[in-house]
């Protein structure tokens, strides 16, 4: 027997392709835990206003815990009619505790439910992203400290410019990552707002204490407009932007090190653990880790671009277009974290060829210093520049 959250006014079943087209469970089942945590808090909230009694509350909470156990231990069975994670969890709850489960959704809509689930998920996972960023930043800092004496040419326009320390270059990758870290923290403030209680569009009439509900779910604040609460997704594309920004920083690092890893430069040797070979040319060792960092940054950008296009000009309030948010969100999250971890591994394991790095330095690269020498003797800089150039 099929379980649907909405069939009452329908006379015909959905077309088979339409069912698949509409189904989001393969993607949004990643929210199973947040969905159940949100439902438990909602059950407590409707109990407080007398919509379910103590006995019903306990049954519902125990049932939701059982569903949680099933997901946790990998025995939850998805059914054909489970349209999304919300349907799947409620369907299973009803199988486990019977008709009492039918009270849980009182005053709630999947519109405020999904917005809550995603915010809970993202807030948690932004903590993991920050952790991974921190690891990468520390790998760069450690390496910069260790290689403090290593000199090389600094390049502008990929032309030899001025002598720098290798550490100086490594720290230049840290700076944008620090700013991205800050962006994640700022984003967390905006994610950490509870939309639950907003219903489908117009709130709920049951005098639910939304501040208490938000508190129960560890949100820092409650949302203030039920139309906006159910429909806004700017926190998602802000996340997609931050991921893209991290990708852009890492893609530049990747490009630098792909170049430094060539025979022509030979400044660095990537560890075998981050390279792959050629099926045809036995001598080859390719910097695939770095090429993939560079390449997958395009994918991050595409996810951001795609989802922003999806949101553009949809009518106010919830529309099914918004269901597209999760595929972009999860894919970008997975991608950006793998970029960060691979970058950390590459930096941690690569070897330097200090001789080659030193060979990139030549005396003409001190031309600016010569001009500054003259400046210190009182020569105007423009003239000093020209004299040093001639010299
Ligand atoms: N699966 C939907 C989503 O992810 C949940 C909300 C559906 N709401 C609705 N009224 N159909 O957006």
Q: Are residues 383 and 240 in the same domain?
A: no
pLDDT tens figures, 229-266: 999 999 999 999 999 999 999 999 999 999 999 999 99
Cβ of 261 below 6 Å from ligand 1: no
Residues 16 and 94 in one domain: yes
Mean pLDDT for 210-237 is: 98
How far is the C-alpha of 58 from the C-alpha of 279, rounded, in Å?
Answer: 61
For residues 336 and 366, membership in a common domain is answered with no
Does any ligand 1 atom lie closer than 6 A to the CB of residue 110?
yes
**23 alpha carbon to ligand 1 midpoint, in Å?**
10
Boundary of a domain, candidates 73, 103, 133: 103
Instruction: Round the average pLDDT of the chain to a whole number and report it.
Output: 97
Among 191, 207, 192, 201, CA closest to 225: 201
Last residue of a domain, one of 103, 123, 156: 103
Q: Is 27 in the pocket of ligand 1 (CB under 6 A)?
A: no
Q: pLDDT (tens digit, 9 = 90+) per residue, 43-89? A: 999 999 999 999 999 999 999 999 999 999 999 999 989 999 999 99
DSSP code for 324: G
- pLDDT surpasses 90 at 4: no
Q: What angle do CA 51, 53, 85 make, to 5 degrees?
A: 65
Look at the block and give the residue holding tokens 């993991």.
128
Q: Are residues 255 and 339 in the same domain?
A: yes
In a domain, 203, yes or no: no
Residues 81 and 115 in one domain: no
Q: How far apart are the C-alpha atoms of 327 and 324, rounded to whole Å? A: 6
Q: Are both 255 and 231 inside the same structural domain?
A: yes
Task: Look up the ipTM and state it.
Answer: 0.96
Residue (of 99, 120, 98, 96) closest to 39 by Cα position:
120
Which pTM was predicted?
0.96
Question: Does 47 share its domain with 142?
Answer: no
DSSP states of 36-53:
HHHHHHHHHHHHHTTSS-
Q: Name the domain count of the chain.
A: 3
Atom of ligand 1 nearest to the CA of 200: 10
Q: What angle do CA 138, 119, 325 make, to 5 degrees?
A: 95
Residue 247 belongs to some domain of the structure:
yes
Domain contains 211:
no
Residue numbers annotated as active site:
157, 278
Do 156 and 23 share a structural domain?
no
**Residues 257 and 344 both lie in one domain:** yes
Whether residue 349 is contained in a domain is answered as yes
Name the residue of 38, 39, 89, 111 whose CB sits within 8 Å of the most ligand 1 atoms, as the mutation to test its pocket. 111
* One domain, residues 30 and 132: no
Answer whether residue 314 shows pLDDT above 60. yes
Atom of ligand 1 nearest to the CA of 85: 1
Q: Looking at the domain assignment, is residue 350 inside a domain?
A: yes
**Ligand 1 centroid – CA 266 distance (Å):** 53
Q: Are 322 and 311 in contact (CB under 8 A)?
A: yes
Ligand 1 pocket residue status of 82, Cβ below 6 Å: no
> What does the buried/exposed string (b/e) look like for 380-391 if buried means 16 or more CB atoms within 10 Å of the residue's CB?
eeeebbeebeee
State whether residue 90 is helix, strand or coil.
helix
Same structural domain, 117 and 27: no
Residues 127 and 25 in one domain: no
Contact between 137 and 346 under an 8 Å Cβ cutoff? The reply is no
Any ligand 1 atom below 6 A from CB of 47: no
Domain, as residue range, for 47: 7-103
């Amino acid at each position: 027997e099929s379980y649907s959250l909405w069939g009452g006014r329908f006379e015909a079943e959905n077309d088979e392709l339409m069912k698949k087209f509409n189904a989001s469970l393969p993607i949004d089942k990643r929210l199973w835990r947040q969905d159940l945590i949100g439902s438990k808090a909602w059950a407590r909230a409707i109990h407080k206003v007398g919509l379910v009694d103590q006995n019903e509350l306990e049954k519902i909470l125990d049932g939701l815990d059982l569903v949680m156990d099933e997901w946790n231990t990998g025995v939850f069975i998805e059914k054909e009619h489970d349209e999304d994670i919300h349907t799947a969890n409620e369907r299973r709850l009803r199988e486990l505790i019977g008709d009492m489960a039918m009270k849980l959704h009182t005053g709630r809509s999947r519109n405020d439910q999904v917005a809550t689930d995603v915010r809970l998920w993202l807030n948690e996972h932004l903590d993991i992203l920050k952790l991974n960023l921190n690891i990468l930043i520390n790998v760069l800092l450690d390496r910069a400290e260790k290689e403090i004496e290593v000199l090389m040419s600094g390049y502008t326009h990929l032309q030899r410019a001025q002598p720098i320390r290798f550490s100086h270059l490594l720290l230049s990758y840290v700076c944008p990552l620090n700013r991205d870290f800050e962006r994640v923290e700022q984003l967390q403030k905006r994610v950490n707002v509870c939309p639950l209680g907003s219903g489908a569009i117009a709130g709920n009439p049951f005098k639910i204490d939304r501040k208490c509900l938000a508190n129960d779910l560890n949100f820092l604040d409650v949302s203030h407009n039920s139309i906006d609460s159910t429909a806004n997704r700017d926190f998602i594309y802000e996340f997609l932007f931050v991921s893209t920004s991290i990708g852009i920083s890492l893609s530049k690092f990747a490009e630098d090190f792909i170049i430094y890893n060539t025979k022509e430069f030979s400044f660095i040797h990537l560890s075998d653990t981050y390279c792959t070979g050629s099926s045809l040319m036995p001598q080859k060792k390719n910097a695939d880790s770095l090429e993939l960092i560079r390449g997958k940054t395009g994918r991050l950008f595409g996810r951001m671009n795609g989802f922003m296009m999806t949101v553009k000009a949809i009518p106010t309030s919830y529309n099914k277009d918004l269901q597209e948010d999760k595929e972009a969100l999860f894919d970008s999250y997975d991608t950006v974290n793998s970029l960060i971890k691979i970058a950390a591994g590459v930096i941690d394991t690569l070897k330097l060829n200090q001789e080659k790095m030193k060979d990139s330095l030549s005396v003409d690269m001190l031309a600016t210093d010569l001009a500054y020498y003259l400046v210190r003797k009182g020569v105007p800089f423009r003239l000093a520049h020209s004299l040093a150039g001639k010299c």
